[in-house]
Structures are given as C-alpha cells and as structure tokens.
Amino acid sequence: MSTYTAPLQDMRFVLTELAAIDRVAKLPGYEEATDDLVEAILDEAGKFAGGVLAPLNFSGDQEGARWVDRAVTMPKGFKEAYRQFVDNGWAGLSLNPEHGGQGLPKVVAAAVQEMWKASNMAFSLCPMLTMGAVEALELVGSEAQKATYLANMISGEWTGTMNLTEPQAGSDLAAVRTRAVPHGDGTYRVFGQKIFITYGDHDMAENTIHLVLARTPDAPEGVKGISLFVVPKFLVNADGSPGERNDAWCVSIEHKLGIHASPTAVMAFGDNGGAIGTLVGKENEGLKYMFIMMNAARYAVGLEGLAIAERAYQKAVAYARDRVQGRAIEGSTGSVAIIRHPDVRRMLMQMRAQVEAMRAVAYAVAAATDMAMRHPDPAERARQQAFVDLMIPVVKGWLTETGNEVASLGVQVHGGMGFIEETGAAQFFRDARITTIYEGTTGIQANDLIGRKIAREGGATLKAVLAMMRQTESELAAQAGLASIRSALGQGIAALEAAGGFIVADYAKDVRSVAAGAVPFLKLMGIVSGGWMMARAALAAQAKIAAGDADAFYPAKIATAQFYAAHVLNTATGLAQEVVQGGASALALDEAMF
Amino acid sequence: MKVIVPIKRVVDFNVKVRVKADGSGVDLANVKMAMNPFDEIAVEEAVRQKEAGVVTEVVAVSCGVAACQETLRTAMALGADRGILVDTDVELQPLAVAKLLKAVVAKEAPQLVILGKQAIDDDANQTGQMLAALLGWPQATFASKVVVDTAAGQVTVTREVDGGLETLELKLPAVVTTDLRLNEPRYATLPNIMKAKKKPLETLTPETLGVDATPRLATVKVVEPPKRAAGIRVADVAQLVDKLRNEAKVIA
C-alpha cells in the first residue's frame, strides 16, 4: 500500500504564478477565494485525501465492487468514506450556492479534484458523475426538477449518473435506441438497456439520479431525435424523501482492467412496466445538452491523467530511495539506493517534469474557464472561451496519454516488483488505462481538435495561443540561464505553427491524410503547451530567486523545466513531421491487406 | 462555560526537520507549518464538550508571529468560536507563554483551559503546568478522558501514568493537558473552513497584556543527533559477551 501526500507547494505555485488565481478571485462571485482561504482549503482537502481516501485505494482495487441480486455492494470502507466526504461538505465545492454549494472557482476545484483522483480514482468518479448531472439539471432542468433533486445532489446525499452508451451506441450516440413514451401525465416511461454506467448502482447513498438519453416515439432518426430524461432510482415523495423503487435496475457490472472499486453498471430500464422519468429541457435536444456538459466532463477526465501520474511518481520516488541494488556506475564501496542510478534518475525526472507541465496546463485552462464564465467584459469572456474550447481536447487527450506513459514508467522504476500487484504500482498503470478511452477516446479528442477547434475557424485561436507562446519565448531572452529552454520552446512553437498551418491548409482538400495525423498533432499541441507553461514556471521561479527567496523549490523548478525542454519539448519537431508527412504512409495499405 | 484552548504553530509532523548550518536553531524557512497535534486534540475535546452542551464558548489562543493566525483559523475551522493572537516576534519560551496565557485568562475568565501536553517541536512539556501554577489553579496533565460537571463545578480527568490510569477530580477553574488517546481530531468541513474566515480574531501583544516575554534561557547550540554507526560482525559468543560487558557496559 502506498501513501499520498498532496503536492501542495507545486499546486500553490501553479495557482498563483501560472493560473493567475488573483485575477480569478476578482471575478464577480469569486471574491471569497482569497489566498488564505484557498490555502486552508487545499491543506484540509490534502489531509482528507491522504488520510481517508488514499488508504482505501489499494484495498478497493483488490476487493472490487460486487454485484448480487441486482444491487452493488461497494468495497469495505467506501460507504463510510463517502459519508464523511458528504458530511465534510466536499461534494458541493464549486457548485451553486443557491442550492447549498460553496460556489468556489473551477480552478480551486481543479486542484481539489486532482487530490481526490490521485488518492483514489475509483472513489472520485462518483462525485464527478454527480457533479455532471447537477450541471445538466441546473442548465436545462425545470424548476420542479431543480427543486426535487438539486439540493440533495449538491450535498452529495444523492448521487448522479450519465446514461448514454448502449451496446450499439458507443462513440456514435446517433444509434441510441432506448425509448421514452409519454404517459399522459407529464411523465414518461423509459424502456431500454444502457451499458458502461459509472456508479449506476451502489450502497453509498440513499438515492441515485440517472440522466438517460432516449428517443420519444415520433423522434427523428439520428442525433436530432435524442432527448434527455431524469430517472431516479427511488421516486421522490411529495415531502422530498425517497419513495417507491423505480423500474431502473443494475443487471450486472463489468469485469474491468482497472478502477475495480468503481461499479460499471449495465442498467435495465423498464423491464417491469417502464421506468418513470421526466423530460429534461426540450424534446430532441438531449445531445446538445450533453455537448454543453462535455467540456466539463472531458476536463475532469484529463485531470485523472495528471492525478494518476502524480501518484505513480510519488510511489516511484519512495521506492527508488528505499530500494538498494547494484553499485553506482562510477564505482561505490557498497550497493546504493537505485535513485543513484542515472537511468532511474532520468525516469523520475521524466515523470516529474511531465506531471508539473500537465498540472500547469490543466490549472491554466481551469482559470480560463472561470474567466470565460465570469469576466465582466464580453470580449474577454469570448477570448477565454475560445482558448478553453481549443484546449479541452488537449487536456483530455494529452494529459491522459501522458498519464499512461508516466504510470508505465512508474512500474518500470520498480523493476520486477512493479509487475507484482502487491507492490501497488501496477494498479496505477491499470487504472490509468481507461482515461484515454472514456469521455471520448484520444482519437475522438484529436479529431475534435483539428476539425471543430482549428480547421473550422481557420486556426484563429491557435494563432492567438502561438502569439502568447512567442511572448513567453521573448521574455526568456533576458534570462541567460534559461537559454536552453528558450531554444527548445522556439523550436516547439515553430513545429506547432507548421503543423497547425498544414491542418488549416489541407483539411478541406485531403481530410483523410490530415486526420491520420490528428493524434500526433494533439500530442504536439500538448507537449508544446506544457513547454510553454514550464517556461513560464522557470521565469517565475527565476524572479523569486532574484528577489532573494532561498526556497530550494525554485531552483528545482528551473532544473525540471530544463529537463522538460531537453527531453520532452525537443520531440515536437518529429511530431510535426509526423503530422505533415505521415498521413500517406498511414493510409497506404488497402483495407484487405490488414 | 467558557474554555480557552492555547495552540502552538509548529513544523508539520510530516516534515523532516533540519538544523540551520550555523547551529543556531532549526531551519524554519519555507517549511510547512501546522497546529501542534496535541493541541489539535485539545481543540477537538473543547469542541466536543461544546457539542455536548457542556461548554458554551471555545476560544483558541496562540502566541507568536503573525502567521499564527493561520493556525487560529484552523482551530476555528475545527469549531473554536473565536481566536486571540498574542502577536510577538520574540522567541517564546514556556514560561513566557504561560505568563501570556495567564494574562489572557485574567481577561477572558474561562472555567477551563485545555492544551496539548507538549509541543512536537521542543517537547518541553511545561506550559500547562506553569500556567496552572501561575494561576494557582488545579491541574490534570496527560488526560485520556475528561468529564466536566458544571453543576458540581468540577472536572474528572483520567490520566495516563506509568503502570496504569489515574483518575482525578478537580475543582473548576482548572488546567487540563491532553494526551494522544483522549480523542481523534476530526477533519475540518469545507463550510466550516469558509466560516472560519469570518469568525472574530483579536490581536493582542505582550505589551498590551503587560507581560515581559523576553527569553530567560539562551540557546547555545543545536546539532543533529549523531548518525548511527555501522555495525560489526563478532567472531563468536565470547567476543559478543566481552563487548557487551566492556564496551557497551550493559551487562556486569
């Protein structure tokens, strides 16, 4: 079993120096988010994550969620931990104060969620799904639906789910077949089967509120005929308490590679006469509502990549310090801890540098989300929103792909022990694996990035981001000590610019070739964005040192940024070539040749 | 009934403490600080007594630099009603703290003072005892159970002593110091963290309290404990016995 210590100092550094939390705290409604409060929140969330959630991570994985007789029993300790999570008020951190939330900025929530996900990813999915359902109801729910569900869901007393996928409707939701038939009294009867429903059933809360995509009887074919329904596990009595059991049952749970403690349910609606539900928003607009929430959901999964990488890094460092094996390559009197070996050191730096770059990108995007929602100037809101829209597929795709890479390196640092389940490093590797798949695979993120986010607008937002990167590059010119970072960043920007230009120019002409390079482009964009943030981090650290701050954190930050420049950012040029020149060979073979 | 809980800001228990290069003390620059864990237990006990309806007000008091305000906010997030900072940059030693607390007690007139039995930085284990002596109040140290009877004006304290438990009855007002097993402190809730920001925090100084907090003791030198030397392999039992007798001098 391993411990988790929230990386509070790096979190605070990123929040203040790179994510401009001071500007977020000036936005209307966020005035409470002062430094001292944010610090107190992060401190306490870190204690809770390390003390309550982290100890259940390994045991939860070993025991797994269990399904017996159409109901799920959570692994030992989860019910109590969830109770404590709710009692301590964490569920409503960034949610609407009108219904009992604390209304804190998304950028604060991002740091806190990183802790939940790092300490116990399987646990964290339950509040995450609930938050998504809450946002949907807030956005388009009727007053009656809000009054019935929101307060209990924001407090976490009731949890929420998203029922989208069906066996024939995975990435393509146009194929959804679940039916919703009007009952003549304002309610509907829902019939159909949903799969891959995270926390579709469990024993941690007294009610589960399912949001379900379904078709009404005369709905048009395809994506234009899908509506959203709210279907509670227990119908809600007039006094607000859970009443009669609804016809929505968990008929099995999946056996998965990872996140064993998170029950992934097969849900059967309407096997015994119809599950009672009500329409959310307007008929046939369901998919549109889902897309509005998509940014938040994809962002949250991106954070999982960062979080699991942080946890894998902490575990690898602890092992590398502890494990004595082999003599130092330059010679030593006895055996040394493996952290002394240059290749182990390189792996730890590869993990650390990418974790820090991911955190910086993720929090910067969260801060932009706050700006896009709350900034008084509409032009600034639009500018920030464009940045967020561009970066969401990068946060989702790049952070999760990198999370997998880091978790894999974590196993490698452990050597043979890493392959043994009892060590615990393997769990992070297995848990990370889903993150590049759910909420849209990396391929889907990359297509969204090159198509909707870049080609459709002629690369306008990308150009604006490139200009900001160039600005940082020029700021580096004044710092002789950061020359290697400046050089790598300059090459990275040039690579991103070239590849982006190719996408804009060729998307309409030869979309297949461009799309074959979509994932390499997403990685390129992630790596260069990370390099940009690490360069800004190095500048901020340099300024602290110049001002006389003797904290060892700052020289370490600069060294880590230099490592990132030399080992990660320098891969940008190759990726750009892959994007520009690689399409033809990827598509060269005829289908029959496979 | 009002309770005062003195709390100390110390190096976080997770931090590996380093001695300053010049041997003048422990390096506190850029080190994570937190509430002394024994004081957390004291806060928890006071808050539980309040939740049980025995206590009406819990006042957290900290003596030291301005940053102690953070520690007071933590105490308020855990349930203390308000905080008092005795603000001073002077190095505070237990007797000075006891005198400052005595002055605060004179001002606040609590029935009970609950504090940690010692702080994890200097492990002095003196402040509670000195405070009781200065106030002329009864004291019960190393408490593992505290039962307050306001009607009878007394507190029954079970304390951990060598070889067992000792139970004392004290007339209120009294001083109680907490041991590890008294309770398990809670995690602060998010709404309480936010509310703590708005709770009253009063700042006093040794001067306004009329206390001379000047150190009585001078620190000569602070050094790391000696590193453990490597072991040696003995040839036989006779050599082992010889070493135990003549080098380690643990057997006669």
pLDDT digits (tens, 9 = 90+) for A468-506: 999 999 999 999 999 999 999 999 999 999 999 999 999
Amino acid at B209: L
- What is the model's pLDDT at position A370? 97
CA angle B218, B221, B227 (to 5 degrees): 150
Of B30, B189, B194, the CB nearest to A88: B189
- Token reading at A467: 């200009």
Provide, as residue numbers in chain B, all residues whose Cβ is less than 8 Å from the Cβ of A92: 190
Q: Is the pLDDT of residue A228 over 90?
A: yes
pLDDT, average across residues B99-113? 98
Is there a catalytic annotation at residue A44?
no
The whole-angstrom distance between B146's CA and the closest CA on chain A is 26
Which tokens in the block code for residue A48? 């809770």
What's the CATH fold of domain A288-440? Butyryl-CoA Dehydrogenase, subunit A; domain 3 (1.20.140)
Report the residue from B14, B190, B196 with minimal CB separation from A88.
Answer: B190
Q: Does B229 touch chain A (CB under 8 A)?
A: no
CA distance B88 to B214: 10
**Rounded Cα–Cα distance for residues B102 and A416 (Å):** 61
Whose CA is closest to A352, among A3, A7, A4?
A7
> What value does the mean pLDDT of chain B take?
95
**Residue of chain A with shortest Cα separation from B15:** A5
A contact set with B (CB within 8 A): 5, 8-9, 32, 34, 36-37, 39-41, 43-44, 47-48, 51-52, 84, 87-90, 92-93, 102, 549-553
- State yes or no: pLDDT of A292 exceeds 90: no
- What is the average per-residue pLDDT within A420-444? 97
Tokens representing A270 are 């309407």
The residue annotated as part of the active site, out of A439, A473, A497, A578, is A439
Average pLDDT, chain A: 96
Position A1 scores a pLDDT of 57
Question: According to the model, what pLDDT value does residue A171 have?
Answer: 84
Q: Which residues of A229-264 are buried (b: 16+ CB within 10 A; e: fewer)?
A: bbbbbbbbeeeeebeeebbbbbeebeebebbbbbbb
- Provide mean pLDDT across the span A525-537: 98
CA distances to A55, A145, A153, A207, B224 from A135, rounded to whole Å, are 30, 12, 10, 18, 55
CA distance B155 to chain A (A): 31
Q: Is B191 on the interface with A (CB under 8 A)?
A: yes
Superfamily (CATH H level) for B2-246: HUPs (3.40.50.620)
Q: DSSP E strands: which ranges in B33-181?
A: 33-35, 57-64, 82-87, 112-116, 139-149, 154-161, 164-171, 174-178
Give how far Cα B108 sits from Cα of A220, A524, B4, B239, Å.
74, 64, 8, 66
Q: List CB contacts (< 8 A) between A552 and chain B.
A: 30
pLDDT at residue number A328: 94
Q: Is the pLDDT of residue A4 over 90?
A: yes
Give, as one character, the DSSP assignment of residue A281. Answer: S
Asked if B245 has any chain A CB less than 8 Å from its own CB, the reply is: no
Q: What does the pLDDT read at residue B84?
A: 98
How confident is the model over A556-571, as a mean pLDDT? 98
Compute the distance between CA of residue A511 and CA of residue A513 in angstroms, rounded to an integer: 6
Q: Do B29 and A551 touch (CB under 8 A)?
A: yes
Angle between helices A121-140 and A55-63 (to 10 degrees): 90
3-state SS class at B11: strand
What does the alpha-carbon distance between residue A408 and residue A184 come to, in Å, rounded to a whole number?
55
pLDDT tens-digit series, residues A188-213 = 999 999 999 999 999 999 999 999 99
**Closest CB to B187 among A47, A92, A550:** A47
Chain A within 8 Å of B194 (Cβ-Cβ)? yes
Residue B41, min C-alpha distance to chain A (Å): 16
Rounded CA gap, A244 and A275, in Å?
11
Q: Find the CB nearest B194 among A84, A88, A102.
A: A102
Q: Tell me whether the omega of the peptide bond preceding residue B94 falls within 30 degrees of 0, making it cis.
A: no
Cα(A15)–Cα(A17) distance, integer angstroms = 6
What's the gap in Å between the CA of B197 and the closest CA on chain A?
7
CA end-to-end span of chain B: 58
Average pLDDT over residues A218-235: 95
Nearest to A40 among B29, B30, B193 (CB): B193
Q: Tell me, what amino acid is at A384?
A: Q
Positive/negative CA dihedral, B79, B83, B89, B90: negative
Q: What is the ipTM of this complex?
A: 0.90
pLDDT band at A376 (very low <50, low <70, confident <90, very high): very high
Position A65 pLDDT exceeds 60: yes
Alpha helices by DSSP H, listed for A215-341, are 286-322
Asked if A36 and B73 come within 8 Å (Cβ–Cβ), the reply is yes
pLDDT at B2 over 90: yes
Chain A CB contacts of B74 under 8 Å are 40, 43
Does residue A160 register a pLDDT over 80? Answer: yes
Mean pLDDT calculated for residue range A261-273: 97
Q: Say if residue A162's pLDDT is above 80.
A: yes
- Residue B14 pLDDT class (50, 70, 90 cuts): confident
Tens-place pLDDT, residues A85-143: 999 999 999 998 999 999 999 999 999 999 999 999 999 999 999 999 999 999 999 99
Contact map slice: B 91-150 vs A, CB within 8 A = none
B225 falls in which pLDDT band (50, 70, 90)? confident
In CATH, which of 1.10.490.10, 2.40.110.20, 3.30.1330.40, 2.40.30.170 is domain A31-284?
Answer: 2.40.110.20
8 A C-beta contact, residue A537 and residue A356: yes
Between CA B179 and CA B176 the distance in angstroms is: 10
Q: Does B29 touch chain A (CB under 8 A)?
A: yes
Write out A132-185 in H/E/C secondary structure.
Answer: HHHHHHHHHCCHHHHHHHHHHHHHCCEEEEEECCECCECCCHHHCCCEEEECCC
| Residue A156 one-letter amino acid | G
Chain B residues whose CB is inside 8 A of the A52 CB are 187
Domain ranges of chain B: 2-246
Q: Which of B40, B68, B187, B197 to mutate to test the interface with A (most CBs of A within 10 A)?
A: B187
Q: Do A553 and B30 touch (CB under 8 A)?
A: yes
What are the sequence ranges of the domains in chain A? Answer: 31-284, 288-440, 446-586
What are the chain A neighbours of B194 within 8 Å (beta carbons)? 32, 37, 102
Whose CA is closest to A226, among A272, A180, A187, A160? Answer: A180
Closest C-alpha to A402, from A358, A453, A452: A358
Task: For A408-463, give the DSSP string.
Answer: HHHHHHTGGGGGSGGGSHHHHHHHHHGGGTTTS-HHHHHHHIIIIIIGGGTTHHHH
Amino acid at A267: M
- Structure-token match 């604006």, residue found: A464
3-class state of residue B82 by DSSP:
strand
Q: Could you tell me if B193 lies within 8 Å of chain A, comparing CB atoms?
A: yes
A264, A256 contact by CB (below 8 A): yes
- Which among B32, B188, B197 has CB closest to A37? B197
pTM: 0.94
Q: A40 and B70: CB-CB below 8 Å?
A: yes
* Tens-digit pLDDT profile for residues B119-146: 999 999 999 999 999 999 999 999 999 9
User: A337 vs A5, A333, A340, A409, B47, CA distance in Å?
Assistant: 22, 13, 6, 18, 46
